[in-house]
């Protein structure tokens, strides 16, 4: 069991994401975490600590061997291997709109929302007519973000979502993600090794370390200075 002494949010508040005594070998054994509705949380820590596994559990792409995972089924997910997540037999626009099409919710409003999103992310509309694998890594990552956001999900799970972006697009994408969460009240879990991403997007930082993973720090982003944040990302800071 690795939750901190003062788990956030308070128990009285119904959490948007709750993991209780979760076992998903080998990195998560008896892991617990609560995230409040609308909260933006960054998960940081060294490679292999279990951050991606955690997101996949919350997305219900993995089933824990033991324990309970409670989270909304309305999920927008940008996986770490975003390139492999596109269906290469569909053009980019059909990939981005796949969830809306599957739900029968693909209407003019959704298309307008996508247009606005693409403008905000600085994506060339022409890329929508191409097959994803013909686009650059950065373009694919922007489309993966658009795909995650366009359905206005209750839960945003972003696994290093800005890693392939240049500085200009990275800044745009951070703003779009924060705005999307604010406007829709979506809960956001961000995995990132980039501390500027964490500072720009998250309001709470959860640092993981060890094997099995335990939470070494759980604090508001604003209360964690840049230097300790760097050590958090490396998993070397025990407590703030």
Partner 1 sequence: MGWLRTCALELARPLLWLDVGATLARVLVGVALATALGWVLGLALGRNARLWRVAEPLVDFLRAIPPVLAFPVCLVLFGYTEQARVAAIVFGTTGIVLLHVANGVARAPSARRDTARLAGLRGLALVWRVDVFEALPALFLGLRLALTAGLVIAVVSEMLVGAEHGLGARALDALIAYRSDLLGLVVLLAGGTGFALSALVAAVERRVVHWQR
Min dist. Cβ of residue 64 to partner 1 (A): 17
Min dist. Cβ of residue 155 to partner 1 (A): 11
Give the nearer residue to partner 1 in terms of CB position, either 83 or 193. 83
* Residue 87 within binding range of partner 1, rule CB under 8 A: yes
The single residue among 68, 81, 107, 119 that binds partner 1, judged by CB under 8 A, is 81
CA distance 62 to 51: 13
Min dist. Cβ of residue 54 to partner 1 (A): 15
Where would I find the beta strands (DSSP E) of the chain? 15-24, 28-36, 40-44, 66-71, 75-78, 155-159, 187-191, 204-209, 214-220
The single residue among 103, 125, 182, 211 that binds partner 1, judged by CB under 8 A, is 103
Which is nearest to 137 in space by CA: 114, 100, 111, 169? 169
* Residue 59 within binding range of partner 1, rule CB under 8 A: yes
* Residue 111 within binding range of partner 1, rule CB under 8 A: no
Angle (nearest 5°) at CA 65 between 18 and 147 = 55
Scanning 47-55, 98-106, 167-175, 186-194 for contacts with partner 1 by CB under 8 A, the matching segment is: 98-106
- Chain Cα centroid distance, residue 90: 24
């Amino acid at each position: 069991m690795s939750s901190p002494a003062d788990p956030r949010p308070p128990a009285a508040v119904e959490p948007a994401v709750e993991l209780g005594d979760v076992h998903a070998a080998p990195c998560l054994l008896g892991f617990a975490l609560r995230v409040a509705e609308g909260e933006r949380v960054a998960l940081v820590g060294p490679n292999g600590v279990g951050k991606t596994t955690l997101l996949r559990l919350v997305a219900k792409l993995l089933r824990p061997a033991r324990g309970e995972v409670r989270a909304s089924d309305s999920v927008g997910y940008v996986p770490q291997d975003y390139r492999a997540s596109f269906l290469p037999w569909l053009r980019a626009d059909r990939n981005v709109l796949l969830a809306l099409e599957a739900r029968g919710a693909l209407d003019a409003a959704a298309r307008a929302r996508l247009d606005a999103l693409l403008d905000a992310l600085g994506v060339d509309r022409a890329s929508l007519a191409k097959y994803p694998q013909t686009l650059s890594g950065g373009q694919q990552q922007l489309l993966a973000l658009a795909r995650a956001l366009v359905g206005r999900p209750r839960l945003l799970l972003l696994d290093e979502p800005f890693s392939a972006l240049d500085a200009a697009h990275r800044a745009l994408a951070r703003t779009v993600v924060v705005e999307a969460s604010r406007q829709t009240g979506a809960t956001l879990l961000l995995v990132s090794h980039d501390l500027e991403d964490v500072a720009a997007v998250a309001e709470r930082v959860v640092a993981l370390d060890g094997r099995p993973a335990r939470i070494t720090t759980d604090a508001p982003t604003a209360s964690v200075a840049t230097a300790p944040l760097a050590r958090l990302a490396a998993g070397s800071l025990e407590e703030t």
